[in-house]
Amino acid sequence: MGEHENRVVLRIVGVVAGAMTVLMLIFVYFGSHFYFGSTVANVAVGGLSINKAEKKIRQETKQVEIRLTGENQTVKLQITSPYRIQKEYLKKNIRKGEFSLPYKKEAKEELIQAVNAASFLGGKEAKDAKIIYKDKKFQIIPEKSGTVVDSVRIRKELSKAFDEGNLQAAYDLADFYREPELTAKDLKRKKIPQKLETVKDRGIMLKLNKKKIPLTEQMLANSIDYQGNFDQALITEWVADLEREYSTIYKSVDFTNIHGQHLQYKNVGNYGWFIDIKESTKKITKALKKSDTKTIPLVLKGDTKKQPLHITKNYIEVDLDNQKMYCFNKGKLVVETDVITGRYNKGTATVPGFHTIMDKRRNVDLSGVLTTGDGTYNVPVDYWMPLLSYGQTITEIGLHDTDHKLQYFGQPGAYQTDLGSYGCVNTPKAKVAEIYEYSYIGMPVFIYGHIYDDAPGEFDKPVEYGTEI
């Protein structure tokens, strides 16, 4: 080998040795320093030693922010120093280029609290798939996605990411929108339209007193849950609609008084009947599961045999202006009597309005506190019929005998003196005994007149004068 060739070989050997030395130096350097571009817990640490990286990570993770970004909002969750930062852990993972750090246990609770405290803008609710009856067949209307954020889902998924050590710095809120619970696929898979067709063909009727109401196709469609079963909660909704439509306890009552005035009064729950929603729903749900069901009687409460809301047959009217009481039976006046009503003070007035007889009792001691505050009273009566006012208000007034005032009945102004009662309609015993025989619990009692308009004090019971129609 010539001298020139030797020089070439030596040069090559020198280059290789130099390269190897450089590589060794690089290897040694990056044994204690992070590769360029490296990140730890989203903190850039490229080229830093373990000591410097640790210092930087501690500094930049004193407050960690997780951003949840949507179309019209960005929600920031703050966590204070969530990482356990140890040199040994950094050294062990130094060559990975990108990794996170173990979390402190208490950081998870802080994360959950931050999610719970976060405020998310409202959006459109997701809509479940549903079944409607159209063009003489049951059809499936597909579900619709919404834009309402499911914070429970956020909490669950971020907690999971925390446990797995891969919590991200940013999330898309669209990934956490509340999903429809019932899909068209669910309904098709369970063959719900076919099932409803079978039930429809039975022609089921709901019985309401003597009236029969068809169980419509749409009622059936609104009764099916996402599992394809007749659901009591769903049935309750349309039974409640029937209750509002047909029950009489919410409808006004009217009558024509002895003077020919046609008066209408509120009726909020104390006259007529109503559909028992809970019991009727149970009955319907059970009946729909039977293949031979044809008629389903609804469960009714109250007196379903009462006369219509235009009351013409059995009732009592108290004419405050003229201090008179009249009792009608089967449309005929059977008792007429003078009375003495509550004394001339609105706190002790006989309250105008629509009432019903709440109870019937014989030989009762009526007691209470004197309005003067000077003591109590105790009055024994032979006949006692307490009244219930509209809205189920117990008035603590009623109809009863008061024969110790017998000589004063028929005096128009007696109620304005100490002869006036504490709100009750005082009546001669012989007359109230007759009324007692004709009366029944729930019987309408109309009290009308304006004698207390200018009286002192305030009414302490619901008052209605009746609207002339």
Identify the sign of the CA torsion 222, 302, 391, 394.
Answer: negative
**According to the model, what pLDDT value does residue 210 have?**
84
Dump the DSSP string for 66-106. EEEE-SS-EEEEEEES-B---HHHHHHTTTSSEE--PBPHH
Say yes or no: 456 and 333 in one domain. yes
Say yes or no: 347 and 271 in one domain. no
Say yes or no: 459 and 426 in one domain. yes
105 Cβ contact list (under 8 Å, min separation 6): none
Low-confidence ranges of the chain (pLDDT < 50): 16, 22, 25
d(CA 184, CA 144): 10
* CATH code of the domain covering residue 226: 3.10.20.800
Long-range contacts at 192-200 (CB < 8 A, ≥ 24 apart): 192/131, 192/138, 192/140, 192/224, 192/228, 193/131, 193/137, 193/138, 193/139, 193/140, 195/224, 195/228, 196/131, 196/138, 196/220, 196/221, 196/224, 197/137, 197/138, 199/288, 200/138
**According to the model, what pLDDT value does residue 443 have?**
93
**According to the model, what pLDDT value does residue 236 have?**
95
Say yes or no: 405 and 432 in one domain. yes
Q: Residue 58 carries which side chain, given as an amino acid letter? A: R
Say yes or no: 148 and 199 in one domain. no
Cβ atoms of 422 and 340 within 8 Å: the answer is: no
In a domain, 94, yes or no: no
pTM for this one?
Answer: 0.59
d(CA 335, CA 422): 24
In a domain, 2, yes or no: no
Cβ atoms of 302 and 272 within 8 Å: the answer is: yes
**According to the model, what pLDDT value does residue 321 have?**
96
In a domain, 271, yes or no: yes
Domain coverage including residue 175? 130-182
Nearest Cα neighbor of 264 from 58, 35, 469 is: 469
Say yes or no: 334 and 462 in one domain. yes
Q: CB-based burial of residue 316 (10 Å sphere; 0-12 exposed, 13-18 middle, 19+ buried)? A: buried
**According to the model, what pLDDT value does residue 30 have?**
59
Say yes or no: 408 and 440 in one domain. yes
Say yes or no: 286 and 165 in one domain. no
Work out whether strand 444-448 and strand 353-357 pair parallel, antiparallel, or are unpaired.
antiparallel
Cβ atoms of 318 and 255 within 8 Å: the answer is: no
Range list of H helices, 93-207: 105-117, 151-164, 184-189, 192-200
358 Cβ contact list (under 8 Å, min separation 6): 385, 386, 387, 388, 394, 398, 441
In a domain, 445, yes or no: yes
Say yes or no: 285 and 350 in one domain. no
Cβ atoms of 244 and 275 within 8 Å: the answer is: no
- Sole residue written with tokens 């008179």: 324
Helix (H, G, I), strand (E, B) or coil at 187: helix
Say yes or no: 167 and 287 in one domain. no
Cβ atoms of 352 and 465 within 8 Å: the answer is: yes
Say yes or no: 352 and 464 in one domain. yes
Domains in the chain: how many in total? 3
Provide the token pair at 460: 């302490």
**According to the model, what pLDDT value does residue 318 have?**
98
- Sole residue written with tokens 């709100």: 423
72 Cβ contact list (under 8 Å, min separation 6): 121
Say yes or no: 417 and 367 in one domain. yes
- Sole residue written with tokens 């004090």: 457
